[in-house]
Amino acid sequence: MEHGERVDIERVVIEGVEFEAALTVRSDIGLLALHGGKEGGTAELAREAAARTGATALVFTQPAGTPAHIPSHRMSEAPSEALREFLSHVSLAVSLHGHLRPDAPRSVFLGGANRAAALVLGRPLALLAPAFETVTDLELIPAGLRGLNPRNPVNLTRAGGVQVELPLAARTSRPEEDRGAPETPPRAVADALAAGVAELTARRPG
């Protein structure tokens, strides 16, 4: 643990599902994974990008049972002190999600209300081509993946944020048949995400 940071672990029940929320407080740029475990690799990417860039991280996981998916806008209503602190401390959020769109198995979609930040974050991710296609044009992002709901936590920070929707191959290298193996994000994706977060950090006011 770096000097000046702290990690808080909270157990919270949301719509009958038990979650563990791990909050690591660092800078006012924040990495968020609301569906860690359900959307494999997102928790690991959020932790790594935050640690490498000095960003705050909040990761939700489900310690028992089959992971359930609760939509992001309903997660914002959770009785979670960790989420409340994250939203008050962070000025701009990057929220990581996973999608399984069969028609877009290599597409990384950058939604969220802060479109300028999406373009900044998208530049290093675009360098992953041709392995992955980075899409920042909202008109080209499926409506359900745009992350524009005003109650979505990514849009509740002071400057809003960027919702990153990652296909399976961009968030984990774990073989699909090996359910017990750890989720290991592809190194190139982790590097590109960290580079984008570092650029957002460098550009923030003050």
Whether 201 contacts 149, CB under 8 Å: no
All domains in the chain, ordered by first residue: 6-203 (3.40.630.100)
- Give the number of other Cβ atoms within 10 Å of residue 65's Cβ: 8
Tens digits of per-residue pLDDT, 111-168? 999 999 999 999 999 999 999 999 999 999 999 999 999 999 999 999 999 999 999 9
pTM of the model: 0.93
Query: What's the rounded mean pLDDT across residues 60-71?
Result: 90
* % of the chain beyond a pLDDT of 90: 84
Q: Residue 66: what are its φ and ψ, rounded to 5°?
A: -75, 125
Burial 31-53 (b: 16+ CB within 10 A, else e): bbbbbbbbbbbbbbbbbbbbbeb
> Mean pLDDT in the chain?
92
